[in-house]
Structure 1
Amino acid sequence: MADQALDPQQLATYFVLTEAVSLLQHQVEQQLRAEGDLSYVQFQLLARLAHGPGRLTMTQLADGVVYSRSGLTYQAGLLEKAGLITREPSPDDERATLVTITDHGRALVERVLPGHVDVVRGLLFDSLDGDDLRQLSEIMTRARDHMRALPPRSAAPRKRR
């Protein structure tokens, strides 16, 4: 079992990473609630739709924001009820649902985005110089790509009850 434990540097790095992500995410969530009455995941969904290639399937959204299919269905229902997105069956795949951001949803993203940028810049990027930013980007891209090499969560078989 000892060979499976994290060494002290790995453990310390893991704790620093999770604490930094938690601190940043907490402040981002506070800003999104205050300025747009949005949860973090709702903002992620809207931002992906607003700044992405257009319509996305529910599966693409779930994979992109790393969220469960059932959780995404619930969040999409809330966003649709608020008039921020629309959902419709895909004409190409009867199993897929296409999601599109509405003009109201796009306007909300544009309204909360400046405050979002201010929080991210102030808490994260202001503490880094150009070399730090380049290194962090390379390291996190490598870690993310390694994690993404595994099958997406939405492709995992559903558990039987």
Structure 2
Amino acid sequence: MPSIQVRLSVNGRRHELELDTRVSLLDCLREHLALTGTKKGCDQGACGACTVLVDGERVNSCLVLAAQCQDVEITTIEGLGEPGRAMREAFVRHDGLQCGYCTPGQICSAVAMLAEYGAGVPSAVGAASLTDAEIRERLAGNLCRCGAYNGILAAVREAGR
């Protein structure tokens, strides 16, 4: 299989890896860097369980090749720092998780979503305030099979204050 030398910056640490050119960012994180907080759900970009931040923007890591991520900063659930801690605590307080499988992707997405909202990035709802409809629209790419949406909504609402 063809391989390539890949230089990645993940959670503030530099990594140099020899990877098959077809390795997704998700598989690189989990299998080559042992960062297993990012979950593999559908492996098709439909569920959001694998959401990470690339230069602060949400991406489904299953749809991105690791080789495409050179010269960018990748942040996983393990590297979110203070915004991630505050969001995790809100998720716990509001029972925004059940099985927990989607939670890392939900939290990464929620942290980035609040930053997008704060920066004035528009959504389809276009609410002037962080309404429940606005939060639902902005987190629509992250699915929860357990149905913990009310708790997730409450956690994001609290963290957004």
Shorter-chain TM-score tier: under 0.3
Q: TM-score, normalised by structure 2?
A: 0.27
Bigger strand share: 2
Larger radius of gyration: 1
Provide TM-score, normalisation by structure 1: 0.27
